[in-house]
Amino acid sequence: MTTAAGPTLARTRAELDAALAAPVVARRERHARAVVMTMGALHAGHLSLVRHARTLADRVVVTIFVNPLQFGAGEDLSRYPRDLEGDLALLTGEGLLGPADVVFAPTPEVVYPDGDPWVRVSAGALGETLEGAVRPGHFDGVLTVVLKLLHLTRPDVALFGRKDAQQLAAVRRMVRDLDVPVEVVGVPLVRDADGLALSSRNAYLTADERARALALPRALRAGEQAAAGGAATGEVLAATRDVLTDAGLDAVDYVVLVDPDDFTPVADDRAGEAVLALAARLGTTRLIDNTAVVLGRTGGGA
């Protein structure tokens, strides 16, 4: 399906191949094709990825697929928000997708024609810590579908949001370890006006839960300020946890400072870049957030 001003919608592999085979006007010093992978229920964070992709490539492919492999038992696969018509309307906004671009919105039967795949990608140690420890097998499912979608869309560059920082690290490691011929670009996360990191799961929050969730970005800011003032790792973590405790958030899964590349905990005498990451539950909704910090500064962050 194609409109005069909008992208081609492909639902099958054959439709995707046909759409990608269509000629496009190439411009010098740009990639031929970029991909942005989503699970739909698009928001401004997703659209920022698409806009960034638009600046990098002559053709942008947006995938919309709720991947069953990355949901564990008791997670929200069945109630995960789905609104393809609304997503397509958003994607045709100014500076987003045009006639040369493609939206690939397959069903699970298209992505996994033989049912659950026997052969899957293992995230290794990166998939066993933090989000991987809380959600066993999650990153194996993520990397399996990412690799399949990279094969199907054949991009030169793939864009991922830094909100899911551990996922970004896992994708980069897979691409490096398996020699996948694609450039991976991380795009800064987008926050709502009140500071909460945009997420499709924010729609599950009640008004009271959303107000309490604002402790997450406040805690990260406290950690950032501590790091900028030269605080050691333990002090940065304490400053972050104190905000969450004061806000009465007792269902906190983790507050950590980790290496950006492999998500291993950083030493107390660490100097250089790190990721300050946290996860907490509000009601039935689990939220994650993170920020980049620089440890080992002296002179008040100079």
| Other CB atoms within 10 Å distance of the CB of residue 284 | 12
- Asked if 39 contacts 14 with a C-beta cutoff of 8 angstroms, the reply is no
Q: Which of 31, 46, 52, 138 is catalytic?
A: 46
* Residue 46 is among the residues annotated as catalytic for this protein: yes
- Asked if 238 contacts 224 with a C-beta cutoff of 8 angstroms, the reply is no
Six-digit token pair at 275? 């990721």
Strands 272-282 and 285-295: antiparallel
Residues 6+ apart with CB under 8 A from 208: none
The number of angstroms, rounded, from the C-alpha of 296 to the middle of its chain's C-alpha atoms is 28
- Asked if 227 contacts 83 with a C-beta cutoff of 8 angstroms, the reply is no
Query: What positions carry a catalytic annotation?
Result: 46
